[in-house]
């Protein structure tokens, strides 16, 4: 199939830490000079360490006579609906007005989303092979869909039909695997592609750590620091006060500084203003806000930290790759019917006894438990995931 052009498709058309890493991993494994990078919007994220991304609708029109292999490269794409997708791709200044105007109008908001995306799909980040007349292989590489069973029946049926038509499907957690197995869809379980970031890009990350903001943060905290992140939905005053009190306790106990960073700047992700508000509440003077959105700077910040604490799944996955202590932050109101994607992934791949996640009131104890984990065990987990990732991902690279 060497004559087919590999098309890497995913949610790397917006700023999200994990999504920006996926195509780098896939490109490194494929060793191809003619890769296409496609999303649902035309974007150039190279200044953040991402890629110049082509809009899928435009590419589909251009490539009708060209054989292509479509590779979905990671992400919680099986449960991302058209409305969520279209809003996340909006300029930040348009988000609130759009939501206020359309959120209570189901038919209108879906029609608007489909016009924005130029696709009629209910789950637009899972492609129909019919989109490309000469589609070759269709691959799903380490994707997620923890809450697929909770999606509307029409959307769920669309996703399952697309997966049945694919040539190779792999998922990153046991819950998604169980959903697909229940539907009779053969799928492999492999670690998230970003598990290979230290293995493939360790030197690049090390070099980024020696300059710019990563170097500044390291110099500010010679005693070490907590790499701390949370999404904007933790930004109400009561929750910020709770997080601040917990971080003061953790900093006093550990002697570590606190470095706040964003793992995503797209709508519904992280908000720099939240970090400024919480920094003003902290009593500890050892606080810094890391403003860079470059994906390699973020990797370097995590890699040089003593512990990661945050709501980002890929904050955890990168900490795992560099064999660092980690703990996820979850909402007290998290649904009980299934774990969130953070806990689903961690309970699938972490060694027994590794702390998984805490609510805001448990941050100090969570950091304490994470720092107490045996370092040899963290190294063994990192090595185990590299092996499983290489085995799983190389299997599909042989298919395209």
Tell me: the pLDDT tens digits for 40-62?
999 999 999 999 999 998 898 89
- Exposure pattern of 337-375 as b/e (b: 16+ CB <10 Å)? ebbbbbbbbbbbbbeeebbbbbbbebbbbbbbbbbebee
Based on the fold, state whether residues 37 and 104 are members of the same structural domain: yes
Task: Output the pTM of the full model.
Answer: 0.95
List Cβ neighbours of 115 (8 Å cut-off, separation of 6 or more). none
Cβ atoms of residues 274 and 239 within 8 Å: no
> What is the radius of gyration, based on Cα positions, of the chain?
21
Residue 94 placed within a domain? yes
Based on the fold, state whether residues 236 and 147 are members of the same structural domain: no
H helices of 255-374, where?
272-281, 295-303, 313-321, 341-349, 363-371
* DSSP conformation class of 266: S
Number of domains in the chain: 2
pLDDT bin (cut points 50, 70, 90) of residue 400 is low
User: What is the mean predicted confidence (pLDDT) over 145-168?
Assistant: 96
* Residue 363, pLDDT score: 98
Residue 146 and residue 175: Cα distance in Å, rounded? 6
Beta pairing, strands 52-55 & 135-143:
unpaired
- The CATH number of the domain where 77 resides is what? 3.40.50
Q: What is the pLDDT of residues 307-358, one digit of tens each?
A: 999 999 999 999 999 999 999 999 986 556 668 999 999 999 999 999 999 9
207 pLDDT exceeds 90?
yes
Residue 400 placed within a domain? no
Based on the fold, state whether residues 119 and 142 are members of the same structural domain: yes
> 296: closest CA among 162, 202, 186, 398?
202
Q: What is the largest CA-CA distance in the chain?
A: 63
Residue 304 and residue 322: Cα distance in Å, rounded? 9
* Residue 2, pLDDT score: 44
Q: How far is CA 145 from the centre of its chain?
A: 13
Residue 130 placed within a domain? yes
User: What is the mean predicted confidence (pLDDT) over 123-138?
Assistant: 89
Q: Which two tokens stand for residue 223?
A: 């005693």
* Residue 334, pLDDT score: 57
Q: Of 148, 164, 189, at which residue does a domain stop?
A: 189
Whole domain around residue 287: which residue ranges?
Answer: 197-386
Share of the chain above pLDDT 70, in %: 97
* Residue 1, pLDDT score: 38
Based on the fold, state whether residues 215 and 293 are members of the same structural domain: yes
Based on the fold, state whether residues 144 and 290 are members of the same structural domain: no
CA distances (Å), origin 166, targets 4, 140, 295: 16, 8, 30
> 16: closest CA among 314, 233, 317, 299?
314
* Residue 266, pLDDT score: 87
- Phi, psi at residue 357, to the nearest 5°? -155, 155
Based on the fold, state whether residues 42 and 152 are members of the same structural domain: yes
List Cβ neighbours of 126 (8 Å cut-off, separation of 6 or more). 72, 77, 78, 140, 158, 159, 162, 163
- Phi, psi at residue 368, to the nearest 5°? -60, -45
Q: Which two tokens stand for residue 73?
A: 């490269």
* Residue 271, pLDDT score: 92
Based on the fold, state whether residues 185 and 213 are members of the same structural domain: no
* DSSP conformation class of 16: B
* Residue 31, pLDDT score: 82
pLDDT bin (cut points 50, 70, 90) of residue 305 is very high
pLDDT bin (cut points 50, 70, 90) of residue 132 is confident
Based on the fold, state whether residues 269 and 357 are members of the same structural domain: yes
pLDDT bin (cut points 50, 70, 90) of residue 397 is confident
Residue 171 and residue 192: Cα distance in Å, rounded? 8
Residue 143 placed within a domain? yes
User: What is the mean predicted confidence (pLDDT) over 90-111?
Assistant: 91
- Phi, psi at residue 221, to the nearest 5°? -125, 70
Based on the fold, state whether residues 213 and 337 are members of the same structural domain: yes
> 176: closest CA among 205, 195, 198, 156?
156
Bridge partners (DSSP) listed for residue 43: 53
Place of tokens 């994607």: 341
The residue with greater pLDDT, 143 or 135, is: 143
Residue 395 placed within a domain? no
Q: What is the pLDDT of residues 253-293, one digit of tens each?
A: 999 999 999 999 988 789 999 999 999 999 999 999 999 99
Residue 367 placed within a domain? yes
Q: Which two tokens stand for residue 349?
A: 């791949």
**Least confident segment among 31-35, 330-334, 348-352, 396-400:** 396-400
Residue 317 placed within a domain? yes
> 83: closest CA among 42, 40, 22, 52?
40
Based on the fold, state whether residues 102 and 241 are members of the same structural domain: no
Residue 398 placed within a domain? no
* Residue 267, pLDDT score: 84
Q: Of 133, 161, 189, at which residue does a domain stop?
A: 189
pLDDT bin (cut points 50, 70, 90) of residue 103 is confident
Cβ atoms of residues 69 and 6 within 8 Å: yes
Based on the fold, state whether residues 114 and 165 are members of the same structural domain: yes
Based on the fold, state whether residues 182 and 274 are members of the same structural domain: no
List % helix, strand, coil for the chain (3-state, nearest 5): 50, 15, 35
- The CATH number of the domain where 380 resides is what? 3.40.50.2000
Q: Of 164, 189, 214, at which residue does a domain stop?
A: 189
Q: What is the pLDDT of residues 220-258, one digit of tens each?
A: 999 999 999 999 999 999 999 999 999 999 999 999 999
């Amino acid at each position: 199939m060497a004559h087919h052009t590999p098309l890497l498709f995913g949610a790397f058309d917006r700023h999200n830490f994990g999504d920006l890493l996926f195509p780098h991993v896939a490109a490194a494994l494929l060793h191809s000079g003619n890769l296409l990078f496609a999303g649902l919007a035309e974007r150039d994220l190279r200044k953040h360490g991402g890629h110049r991304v082509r809009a899928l609708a435009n590419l589909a029109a251009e490539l009708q006579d060209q054989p292509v292999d479509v590779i979905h490269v990671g992400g919680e794409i099986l449960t991302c609906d058209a409305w969520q997708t279209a809003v996340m791709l909006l300029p930040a200044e348009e988000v609130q007005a759009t939501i206020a105007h359309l959120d209570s109008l189901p038919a209108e908001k879906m029609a608007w989303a489909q016009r924005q995306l130029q696709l009629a799909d209910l789950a637009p980040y899972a492609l129909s092979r019919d989109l490309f007349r000469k589609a070759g292989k269709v691959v799903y590489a380490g994707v997620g869909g923890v809450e697929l069973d909770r999606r509307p029946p029409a959307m769920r049926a669309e996703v399952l039909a697309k997966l049945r038509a694919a040539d190779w499907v792999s998922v990153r957690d046991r819950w998604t695997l169980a959903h697909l197995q229940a539907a009779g869809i053969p799928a492999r379980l492999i670690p998230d592609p970003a598990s290979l970031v230290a293995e493939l890009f360790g030197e690049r990350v090390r070099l980024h750590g020696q300059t710019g903001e990563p170097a500044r943060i390291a110099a500010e905290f010679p005693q070490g620091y907590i790499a701390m992140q949370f999404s904007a939905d933790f930004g109400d005053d009561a929750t910020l006060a709770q997080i601040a009190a917990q971080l003061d306790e953790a900093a006093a106990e550990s002697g570590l500084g606190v470095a706040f960073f964003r793992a995503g700047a797209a709508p519904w992700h992280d908000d720099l203003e939240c970090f400024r508000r919480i920094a003003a509440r902290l009593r500890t003077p050892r606080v810094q806000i890391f403003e860079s959105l470059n994906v390699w700077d973020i990797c370097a910040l995590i890699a040089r930290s003593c512990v990661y604490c945050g709501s980002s799944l890929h904050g955890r996955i990168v900490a795992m790759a560099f064999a660092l202590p980690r703990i996820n932050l979850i909402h007290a109101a998290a649904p009980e019917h299934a774990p969130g994607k953070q806990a689903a992934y961690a309970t699938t791949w972490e060694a027994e006894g590794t702390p998984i996640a805490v609510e805001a009131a448990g941050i100090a104890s969570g950091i304490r438990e994470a720092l107490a984990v045996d370092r040899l065990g963290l190294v063994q987990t990192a090595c185990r995931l590299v092996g499983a990732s290489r085995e799983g991902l190389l299997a599909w690279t042989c298919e395209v």
